[in-house]
Amino acid sequence: MKVRRGIIQDNLSKYIQKKPKDVKLLDFGCGSGLFVDELGKDGFDAYGLDNSEEAIKFGQSKGIKNIGVIGSQKISFPDNTFDAVLSLDVLEHLENESWALREIERVLKSGGIAIITVPAYHFLWGVQDDVSHHFRRYTKGWLLREIKKSTSLEIIRSSYYNTFLFPPIAAVRLLSRLFKWKGRESDYDLNSPFLNKILFFIFNTERKLLKKINYPFGVSILAVLKKKK
């Protein structure tokens, strides 16, 4: 999660030519708002919405501000409100993602940026997808087609990521399905503190290269979109 947040911050810095204090930002599907809080500390005018009242109440109990519960298929902000909208591993939770894409476009200012991440490849379906109540995993082509079908947003960048760890993750998930391994509530039950340090190093190295190149495959997908002026 720490590296993924870094990837998002890298892309915000690259595609928004404003100081953070001048950027009004929405984290659409913010969970308990931890990233909203982090972005606020970085100087952004950050807001968050999530459909889980429990998650929002938890975040508010921790003192996180500017977060709330999203209404039914409607972002509760006027048109042209935000310089940036984040949708981080959200679309796969929605039975129909078209309304969310249209709402993201609606609340973006002219020239505003949307950053979207989703999980990749249905053959990588694993325990975590079941636990998280996902409807799908995407290919990059599928995601971009849905964006073009639902919005007029310009696609200015698209890439797979979590590429260096693709082979072991794919192996674990395919073997789990083949041998019907049970008893784990999450794919992350396989982790250990020592292993986490190694995985962090690998993923963070990939992040540095992702600033300069796009990857042809990976466990996840990144798309950066711009609202036309």
Let me know: does 69 contact 56? Beta carbons within 8 Å: yes
pTM metric for this prediction: 0.93
Give the number of domains in the chain.
1
Give me the phi and psi of 96, to 5 degrees please: -130, 110
132-187 pLDDT per residue, tens: 999 999 999 999 999 999 999 999 999 999 999 999 989 988 887 777 665 544 55
Give the range of the structural domain holding residue 187, as residue numbers without chain letter.
Answer: 2-226
pLDDT, tens only, 83-110: 999 999 999 999 999 999 999 999 999 9
The CATH number of whichever domain residue 212 belongs to comes to: 3.40.50.150
* Across 118-128, average pLDDT: 92
DSSP summary character for residue 188? G
